[in-house]
Structure 1
Amino acid sequence: MAAAFGATSTTEDVLQDVNLHGKRILVTGVSAGLGVETARALAAHGAEVVGAVRDLAKAERATAEARAEVQNRGSITFIDLDLASLKSVRACADALLADGRPFDAVIANAGVMRTPFWHTEDGFEMQFGTNHLGHFVLVNRIASLIAPGGRLVNVSSAGHRYSDVDLDDPNFANTPYDPMVAYGRSKTANILFAVEFDRRHKEKGVRATAIHPGGIATELARHMQPGEIDELLKQINAQAAAAGRPPFQWKTVPQGAATTVWAGFVAPADEIGAKYCEDCHVASLTDGKMDIVSGGVRAYALDPERAKALWAKSEEMVGERF
């Protein structure tokens, strides 16, 4: 590749020589943090971005500055989507299908983290239901709209190392609820979904990947208790010191969104297909379960047979086959 990018690269670094005029991109969660920056960066380079959001008023406020910045280059518009409601997900998909215009990329960015033991409208554990099942139904229903050469980018997390998916008890019906384990399950599911989607669609020229944006201080952590982040940072820095690495540093939001746009529009398709990316490169396998700042992906998250099993379980849960 002409340029090498890394942990400190920003969306503007990655997209510096990229012209996205004529490209149409669906991004979920364009109402805060990474979603807003992803939409802004893509539209600034000419793309037509459709933001799928739960709260239209919030999204309009959050993107007001970005929309003013990108006018006459690209655009950011919105469509209703509540990932915690399959009725809403299906209505969103139906509206996009009725419109009929194709997408060059779908970026499954929206998500929740470390929620209390809540359930979605359909009775799914909130994190698995929102982060995985909502996107699973949406993306599969509109898969025919992804143009040849297009990509699916699932925003996962290093948090996938906390847990593999549990296909026997996905809703914690028989397991004590742990918010971080639940988050880990949902983020592993994001990766496995990309692995199987890529297998099913690569012959049509559509590829899928999952990415870890890095540690960014956004409202994603709003459900964490006071002092919880400080305690987590102490653990992370202790691990870093023991391994001879420098202390943890937060990424800026533009740095956090860089891997998303790199995987979607810069990296070669064969390089990122069915892979997990971080810091603008494809991650290597690691056994480091809890040492989440050292980089890498757990083998269970890329297991193709596990990906097929999750797909089948997801179809069973949502009552729909794809």
Structure 2
Amino acid sequence: MTHVFGATSTTDEVLAGVDLSGKRILVTGASAGLGVETARALVARGADVVGAARDLTKAKKATQGVREAAQASGGSLALIELDLASLASVRAGADRLLADGHPFDIVIANAGVMAPPFGRTADGFETQFGTNHLGHFVLVNRIAGLLGQGGRLVNLASAGHRFANVDLDDPNFERAEYDPWIAYGHSKTANILFAVEFDRRHRDRGVRAAAVHPGGIRTELLRHLSPAEEEALIASINASHAAAGLPPFVFKTIPQGAAASVWAAVVAEADAVGGRYCEDCHVAQVQDGEGLRSGVRPYALDAQRAEALWRKSEELVHEHF
């Protein structure tokens, strides 16, 4: 009998009875929040996890519990230094993984930043687009050959993709006035479109890709929001919920948020989630309309837009895949 999971399901509930011994999984952002919990849940089932993090000292402290879970289960955790806001760092990290040569069964592109003040990455890209999308674009494509038959890519996206479609004409806010939420929307839509196009390019060789929205969770992702800004954001979500006849917004716990990632990576059928956007441990319905509600905007799954983003991303990073 197939288990039905939902918004309150946790990582341990989703992975109950699952044996991941021998599976090798890359998780970016393994120094806090969802990344740490994702790694813990996977190694607790025997997986060998490689955690990528910008700050290795911080990651080592944050993953003490992950190493303890790995020791108890027979899994393992290894950490690599990788700063998604620097393509030199991304390429160096990818080169180390390629030189190592060990294949991956799953890549979970978890790391990200949300609504910071305007800034640019080491390569001159707007911070959110450069970190959330382009850093992962280069990393995943460089190591794509390490994903073999049955492999899977999971991109962490967000309901925030509903703030804005990706802007292929001005992705770095060189002309438009910067708005942190519009920029976040650009990057999160890009995460979904990247999964759509990666899935199209690799599904014939048995590798699939999906995007997931983990839900609203109190993690370091909120560090750029003041209490007043957080309150205003929740009020806007609740207003759209009320208009749609939905209950008020409730924060998820970290294990509930990370459940979406492990569900899409391990439990869901590949054909069901390939090229799709998922939330609350199910494939989301296409849903247009204003406000932050459940579902995915049509533009985020548009195949032509996904291909155009791929080409634009290659142009920006000066690398073809």
Report the TM range for the smaller structure's normalisation.
Answer: over 0.9
Determine the C-alpha separation between the residues in 2 that align with 1:242 and 1:89: 43
Give the structure 2 partner of residue 88 of structure 1: 89
Distance 1:99 1:72 in 2: 26
Give aligned-pair identity as a percent.
68
Match of 1:26 in 2: 26
Letter of the aligned partner of 1:55 in structure 2? D
SS in 1 for 2:160: helix
Contact kept in structure 1, 2:53 and 2:82, CA below 8 Å = yes
2: distance between equivalents of 1:96 and 1:240?
44
Stretches of 4+ aligned residues off by more than 4 angstroms: none
Separation in 1, partners of 2:187, 2:267: 26
- Using the size of structure 1 for normalisation, the TM-score is 0.98
Please name the residue that 1:288 is paired with. Answer: 289
Give the match for residue 306 of structure 1: 305
Match for 1:192: what amino acid? Answer: L
- SS of 1:105's equivalent in the other structure is strand
Note the alpha carbon deviations across 1:133-190, whole angstroms, 9 max, x for none.
0000000000000121010000000000000011010100000000000000000000
CA offsets 1:262-317 (integer angstroms, 9 cap, x no match)? 00000000000000000000000111332x2x310000000000000000000000
Deviations 1:111-131 (A, max 9, x none): 000011100000000000000
Aligned to 1:197: 198
Which residue of structure 2 lines up, in the alignment, with residue 224 of structure 1? 225
User: RMSD across aligned C-alpha pairs, in angstroms?
Assistant: 0.9
Specify the SS of the correspondent of 2:227: coil
Matched, 1:146 2:147: yes
Within 5 Å, which residues of 2 pair with 1:131-142? 131-142=132-143
Query: What is the CA deviation profile of residues 174-207 of structure 1, one whole-angstrom value per residue up to 9, with x for unaligned ones?
Result: 0000000000000000000000000000011000
Shift of 1:258: 0.5
Please say if residues 120 and 126 of structure 2, whose CA atoms lie closer than 8 Å, have aligned partners that are also in contact.
yes
Shift of 1:69: 2.7
Deviation of residue 234 (structure 1)? 1.8
Measure the CA separation in 2 of the matches of 1:219 and 1:289.
Answer: 27
Match of 1:112 in 2: 113
Q: What is the CA deviation profile of residues 37-87 of structure 1, one whole-angstrom value per residue up to 9, with x for unaligned ones?
A: 000000000000000100001001111122113314211110010000000
SS at the partner of 2:211? strand
For residue 301 of structure 2, what is the amino acid of its counterpart?
A: L
Q: How many residue pairs were aligned? A: 320
Matched AA of 2:160? G
Which position in structure 2 is the counterpart of 1:62? 62
Give the structure 1 partner of residue 173 of structure 2: 172
How far 1:235 moved relative to its partner? 2.1
Contact between 2:40 and 2:65, CA under 8 Å: does it hold in 1? Answer: no
TM-score normalised to structure 2 length: 0.98
Amino acid at match of 1:9: S
Distance 2:152 2:290 in 1: 28
Q: Is the 8 A contact 1:289 1:298 kept in 2?
A: no
Once residues 189 and 58 of structure 2 are traced to their aligned partners in structure 1, the CA distance between those partners, rounded to angstroms, is 29
1:231, CA displacement in angstroms?
A: 1.4
* Residue equivalent to 1:274: 275
Q: After TM superposition, give the deviation of residue 227 of structure 1 in Å.
A: 1.1
- Measure the CA separation in 2 of the matches of 1:244 and 1:200: 39
Q: Give the equivalent residue in structure 1 for 2:316.
A: 317
Q: 2:53 aligns to what? A: 53
Name the SS for the 1:71 alignment partner: helix
